[in-house]
Amino acid sequence: MKVSYQWLKSIGPELEAGIAELSERLAALGFPVEEVATLSEGFEGLVVAEVQGVREHPDADRLRLCDVDGGQGVVQVVCGADNVVEGGWYPFAPVGSTLPGGVTIGKVQLRGQESQGMLCSEKELGLGPDGTGLMVLEGRFSAGQPLASALGLEDLRLDVEVTANRPDLLSHEGIAREVAPGGHTALTLPPIPGEDPAASEALERLERHADPEEVSGDGVTIRIEAPDLCPRYVGLVVRGVRVAPSPHWLQTRLRAVGARPINNVVDATNYVLLELGQPLHAFDLQQVGGRSVVVRRARQGERIRTLDGEDRALNRDMLGICDEDRPMAVAGVIGGEESEVTDETSDVLLECALFTPGPIRSTRKALGLSTEASYRYERGVDPELQLRALRRVARIILATAGGEIRGPILDCRPGDFSRKTVSLRPSRVEALLGIPFDHESIRELLEPLGFSLEPQSPEELRVDVPGFRSYDVTREVDLIEEIARTHGYDHFPDVLGAFRPGAVPDHPLFELEDRVRDELVAWGMLEAQTPAFAPEGEGEVELLNPISSEERFLRGRLLPGLVRRLEYNLARGNRSVRLFEIGTVFALEDPGDLPRERTHLAAILHGDRFPPHWENEARGLDIWDLKGVLGRVADVVVGEGASVGPDAEGDSGSPFDPASRLVVRGVNGEAVGEAGRMPAARMDLPPWAGPVWGFELSLPVEPGPRKEIRYRPLPTHPGVDRDLALLLPEDLPVEELRGYIGREAGKYLRETRVFDVYRGKDLPEGHRSVALRLHFRAPGRTLTDLEVDEAVRRIVDVLREELGVGIRGQQDASGGA
Amino acid sequence: MSTDGSLIEELKKLEEEALASVEGVRDEAELEEVRIAFLGRREGRISEILRKLGQVPPEERPPLGAEANRVKSRLEEALDERRSSFARERAPDRFREDLTLPGRERWIGGRHPVTRVVDELIAIFRDLGFSLARGPEAETEWYNFEALNTPLDHPAADEQDTLYLKAGHLLRSHTSPVQVRVMESHRPPIRVLAPGMVYRRDSYDATHTPVFAQLEGLAVDEGITFVDLKATLAEFARRYWGPGTRVRFRPSFFPFTEPSAEVDVKRVFRDAEGREQETDWIEIMGAGMVDPAVLEASGLDAERYTGFAFGMGPGRIGMLKYGVPDLRLFYENDVRFLEQFAGP
């Protein structure tokens, strides 16, 4: 809400204390001032000038020579605007002054004629969009008067943040009521310059016709056919107005809060909206067909050309303000062009209505159009305000545009306007706020806000809610908030008392995520967080209103996002990229159900295995680094029984090169994740990039309890190692040997470790040498060589007989190769 | 006394002499000379005595032999000890490296800075009795708005511009739906934290991203008051930003809390010269007493139970804590940025 400090002070004289105190007080009440703008800023040196003479430019058709009095003697100014007239008053930038946009005015020659300064348009002054002609100043001025004072810019504009629950603060009166030390009773509305007291007096005594369905008078009929959408519609006819630019005081007020003056009738309605918070509309009565106003739902497909020049189609959910046959305005949102007040208008029908907030909001959304009126109506306009606002606007129109009001006031009101009462228990106040408040202190806190209190019993107060608070104060708790707010949050203690710890157990996934992070951080990986949006093809859950086409879906997996992060890093020359992410992925469920969500873990690896060191040979990360970290992660994620093995078949959607594809399986053999080398062709990498490794796993929805650690006694006797160098066909996986070895080795084989893999010309074609170290140990005694030799012999035999594996050598491990 | 007695005497003297010689040597060469002088196979003086053992009458041999062996091993021990002490002294001389060269490192991994902040926040609230809860990121309008006392046709539903999936389904615009889900499934006392990602239809700028982390807190029990809310959050702030931290509560509006507050902190610290300095007020979270309508929508008796809730943005808190000027840095994941937060 934009607030003029001068305007505010004219309503609440107690607010003279100054802007700093006002800002502080607003903030303490919950309405921080986001910005204070000095309106005269940038207008230094600019003045008001009178054009005393206008002559043709001898050498240019479209330029004129003006004799301009800017207070420093008459100077010649060349001007291109059509609307410059002798005797007119205009903003003037003398030589040496600077426009708000930063342009400094110098003495120039225009087509051979000297120009000493510049007469300005609205646009050149940054005051509005109109750059077609000079800005015409209305009122009495003196030549050389500072432009800021002439435009009423010696004011401060406050941008007050008003929360969505407080529509009553969307007006100068509302703000003043909230902050004035004396409360709502201390306010007065400023007098209207040029007002005829007798006319205003007559207005107060004007007859009023009221009816829930239809009222007529002064040749006009108002009928409400949709009482659920319009609880009240008040109309008043003003005849014989003279539509013209508004007087200076009115334009000043509007400009101070950034509104653009249009004409005296429209400006009067806007003024009252900003002053009291009541949206108003003025129709040209000549354009109201049948002199009837029908408040009804629009017909499907009915069209209206609105004031912003748009041709709009309405539907049955929208409320129209119609004449006999067509809509003249979209209720509570915007007026129509045909019934607009123009310079030709002489009779005006004023509308001062109340609309139901919800439908205004949906209409506003459907039309994609938010206006000052819709902003207030969708939040809630004071249901007690209409007559007061109507009289106020009528007085201003009479004072600025003349005319005559015969009456009656046409008050069509199907709604219920009885005041709401809310009961308030001081015991409940204490139960919620933690400190006691008695009747008297509650009264002192609530009454200045406009509430009236009536004790029902020592335990209960009856609180009468004023209309302007009828939207946000409907329950006891709403009053308790008012008590806390006006008492001041700072006045509550903040000493920690006793509390019961919560009885809700931790969701188990947090602990698992924590351990995964520990594991991967220990491997030297950095955690990334990427947005869950994805382009088409990377997810199946689609957004209705995406931010961009690249973010139209929700991701189905994490890796594509990490690939983009890798590309980003490599493009910036970051060679070593080891990123992991724990995040949510989405999949479609049955129609009507929410998407299925799973927490995934993914990683992407590129670059050197170790940080460069002068003594190390640089080596890139490879498949064994990937498989190593994957094994550890599988242990953490799946627990006991996890396996990691090759699976070149895979599903076709796998992002990995099939030959490098590893699959992580759970206890029951189900795939929980996969890993491998990511084909460079599918990524946007610089030419120097090395291989890219990645993995992605699905974390369990409900992780089981963490594996318990049990102590195993340490061996008491030494074991015996034997090395075997086996000649293995390339297509025989080492994994297949393990079963045979395990069966034949007897119960004392503790560990089988691959310690060398060798390929060379000295080996038979299609073979490699794999060296295994077998570790034997018996509990409680030392094994004899004989026992171990026997076991090794059995292993060698079975490998030869069953798999055709030859032996390159066999050694006592201590004996070396 | 016979010869053996004198031999034993001689041995004792030799022992003393040999030990003194060992003590007196200056280097290993001299030590070796001493060894040869006393224990050398041919000319060693103790070896000589041992050789004479054959000439001693058999009955005298055992005591003499025993004594000779004792002296021999005593001396060997002394020689060994001296030798290793020379070795120890010599060791640094043999170690020749330019120690200004860099050491061999390993890659240092690290949690995401936002995770670091969340971890720190959780640690503090754990002390205050809170446990961890989670809820879905794709939600229904009911949980995101209506159960939180936000009618869909109220402007408050607009304030967080929501991303919709299809009719009635959306991406949660705050972590507050978890409040309702927890209250539906558990009885008080409830004290939970719900960290998670939330979504808004914002464009990227220095302080906005369409996806960002939020941390929700909820405490519901009998007898919880506004004073408890203030005390708990002030306690949190003093633990997180230091004991001198000042905390300010300003009235605000959230549909699901009443009274509602914005919480600001002002850090007070001493600068290098020991002068007390303070920061500006910094807005860190929204909070309030759980609205009775939310308790009722979650199936709790609002006359019996009261509670408070709060929500903060770990990303925003991280920006303040680490001096990160732009929220987008957290989601670009430039490794040079992430590495600044690496390590334990």
**What mean pLDDT value characterizes chain A?**
91
The pLDDT of residue A175 is above 70: yes
Q: Distance from B248 to chain A by nearest Cα, in Å?
A: 7
Angle ∠(A216,A218,A220) on CA atoms, nearest 5: 50
More confident residue, A666 or B48: A666
In a mutagenesis test of the B interface, which of A474, A507, A554, A702 is the best target, namely the one with the most B β-carbons within 10 Å?
Answer: A507
> What's the confidence (pLDDT) of residue A614?
87
The pLDDT, as a whole number, for residue A817 is: 33
User: Nearest by CB to A594, which of B140, B260, B333?
Assistant: B140
For the question of an ipTM over 0.90, the answer is: no
User: In the structure, what pLDDT confidence band is assigned to residue B33 with cuts at 50, 70 and 90?
Assistant: confident
Interface of A with B in 105-144 (CB under 8 A): none
pLDDT at A160: 94
What's the rounded Cα separation, in Å, for the pair A117 and A108? 8
> How many Cβ contacts (< 8 angstroms) between chains A and B?
267
Q: Considering only residues A134 and B303, tell me which one the structure prediction assigns the higher pLDDT.
A: B303
* Rounded Cα gap, residues A674 and A644, in angstroms: 9
Instruction: Provide the pLDDT for residue A816.
Output: 34
Asked whether the predicted pLDDT for residue B1 surpasses 50, the reply is: no
Which residues in chain B are closer than 8 Å to A532, comparing Cβ atoms?
Answer: 137, 197, 199, 211
Most confident among A425-434, A713-722, B18-27, B263-272 (mean pLDDT): A425-434
Residues forming CATH 3.30.930.10 domain(s) in chain B:
113-341
Burial state string for A61-93 with b = 16 or more CB within 10 A and e = fewer than 16: eebbbbebbbeeebbebbbebeebeeebbbbbb
Packing angle of the helix pair A386-401, A264-276 (nearest 10 deg): 150
Cα A250 from chain centroid? 35
Which range has the worst mean pLDDT, A215-229, A715-729, B91-105, B297-311?
B91-105
Chain centre distance of CA A11: 34
Answer yes or no: CATH 3.30.930.10 is held by domain B113-341. Answer: yes
Cis omega (within 30 of 0) on the bond before B189?
yes
- For A347-459, strand residue ranges (E) read 348-354, 409-412, 420-424, 452-457
* Residue A34 DSSP one-character state: E
Interchain proximity B138–A597, CB inside 8 Å: yes
Instruction: Give the residue with greater pLDDT, A453 vs A122.
Output: A453
- The four Cα atoms B60, B66, B72, B77 give a dihedral, to 10 degrees, of -170
Q: What is the CA radius of gyration of chain B?
A: 41
Q: For A576, which residue in chain B has the nearest alpha carbon?
A: B335
pTM for this model (two decimals): 0.82
Name the residue facing A584 among B111, B137, B338 (closest C-beta).
B137
Q: What is the mean pLDDT of residues B31-55?
A: 82
Vertex B76, ends B70 and B79: CA angle to 5°? 140
Q: Are A427 and A160 in contact (CB under 8 A)?
A: no
- Alpha-carbon distance A271 to A261, whole Å? 10
Query: How many C-beta atoms surround the C-beta of residue A117 within 10 A?
Result: 26
Q: Are A222 and A233 in contact (CB under 8 A)?
A: yes
Lowest mean pLDDT of A129-133, A236-240, B254-258, name the range. A129-133
Q: What is the mean pLDDT of chain B?
A: 90
Radius of gyration of the CA atoms of chain A, in A: 42
Q: Which residue of B has its CA nearest to A429?
A: B225
- The pLDDT of residue B24 is above 80: yes
**How far is Cα B290 from Cα A603, in angstroms, rounded to an integer?**
40
Tokens of B319: 């920006």
Q: What confidence score (pLDDT) does residue A252 get?
A: 87
- The strand order across the sheet containing A220-224 reads A214-217, A220-224, A292-297, A319-322, A327-330, A334-335
pLDDT at B6: 76
pLDDT at position A529, please? Answer: 96
Q: Residue A301 pLDDT > 90, yes or no? A: no
DSSP letter (8 states) at residue B87:
H
Average pLDDT over residues B254-274: 92
Q: Please give the pLDDT value at position A813.
A: 52
Query: pLDDT at residue A396 above 90?
Result: yes
Q: Can you tell me the distance from the alpha carbon of A510 to that of B178, in angstroms, rounded to the nearest whole number? A: 15
A627 vs A648, higher pLDDT: A627
Over the stretch A590-621, which tens digit does the pLDDT of each residue have?
888 999 999 999 999 999 999 998 887 889 99
Nearest CA in chain B to A24: B250
Backbone angles phi, psi at A157, to 5 degrees: -110, 120
CA angle (A494 as vertex; B242, A475 as ends), nearest 5: 135
The arithmetic mean of pLDDT across residues B200-228, rounded, is: 94
Which uninterrupted H or E stretch holds A698? Answer: strand A693-698
Question: In the prediction, which pLDDT does A173 show?
Answer: 94
- For residue B310, the distance in angstroms to the closest alpha carbon of chain A comes to 16
Q: Of the given ranges (A98-112, A328-342, A783-797), which has the lowest mean pLDDT?
A: A98-112
Interchain proximity A529–B291, CB inside 8 Å: no
Lowest-pLDDT range, A210-214, A584-588, A650-654, A728-732? Answer: A650-654
Q: Give the pLDDT confidence of A775-794 residue by residue, as tens digits.
A: 999 988 999 989 999 999 99
Closest-CA residue in chain B for A31? B252
How many other β-carbons are positioned within 10 Å of the β-carbon of residue A161? 15
- Residue A812: band (very low, low, confident or very high) from pLDDT cuts 50, 70, 90: low
pLDDT of residue A109: 86
User: What pLDDT is recorded for position A798?
Assistant: 92
- B153-170: per-residue pLDDT in tens? 777 676 668 999 988 899
Contact A503 B336 (CB under 8 A): no
A477 touches B at CB < 8 Å:
yes
**Contact criterion met (CB < 8 Å) for A378 and B155:** yes
| Of the partner residues B156, B230, B261, the one whose CB lies closest to the CB of residue A164 | B156
Distance CA B339, CA B323 (A): 15
